[in-house]
Chain A
Amino acid sequence: MATVTRPSPKEVWDWLSHVPDPEIPVISLTDLGIIRDVAWDDDTLVVTVTPTYSGCPATAVINLDIEKALRERGIEKLKLKRQISPAWTTDWISEAGRDKLRAYGIAPPIDGTAADGRLMGRVNRMTGGNLTVPCPRCGSTHTTKVSQFGSTPCKASYRCDDCLEPFDYFKCI
């Protein structure tokens, strides 16, 4: 039986860092923080992935992209494992990922501002119920929330009141 050299998990992580998110292709799956583990189980490579939002239609595409990328690298036995706990949080988006989002025109999440259901306290903390999200284009903090939900479940719609550019905010979860 031929001994095939197995790539180390570190190497696999590196490959996955080049797989783009299907909906926001400027950031990779590792930037997004959804790859939870890479490990060998005997001769099978097990990649553990956590979904962003439970209904996110990108989930199936992400699994396929992972499979495609790893098959191209010669991985034959592959298992994708879904893990929902601990639940994904935008805190796991890397610093590099945040910079890439900003450069792409999406305001990155502001940590610690996730909705928690404590409505009245939250409204008081944020002037007029609006979280101050700096415009990714001109940097102005003079912005207005247009809608709690944007082009995907993970984003909210904002408008810059200075440069008038509409933009997406990757909301905190």
Chain B
Amino acid sequence: MRIACPFCGERENGEFTYLGDASPKRPNFAVDSGESPERVEDAFYDYVYLRDNVAGFMREYWYHGGGCRSWLIAERNTVTHEFRSVTAAPGVGASKPVQAGE
């Protein structure tokens, strides 16, 4: 399997580390915002533990530790290992601003 890093070009997968699903978003809430504790707890339980077992394309975090040391988001088909796209994760590189909530 080879992965086309947006910075380095195509490299062997041994240079990369897999983190997991890139879809979960950290629940956004403020302490004492009036949100019910049960709902916050449920949302965090979802965020931390529950994952879809996708057969097909999913968005995943990959880390190019053996190369440019950037976090990437890849769309990979879990059935065929086909990569549809590999892009830099938000905030990678000094020229890109960090997105709120990431």
Q: Are the chains A and B members of one assembly?
A: no
Residues of A within 8 A of B (CB): none
Listed in ascending order, the chain B residues whose CB lies under 8 Å from chain A are none
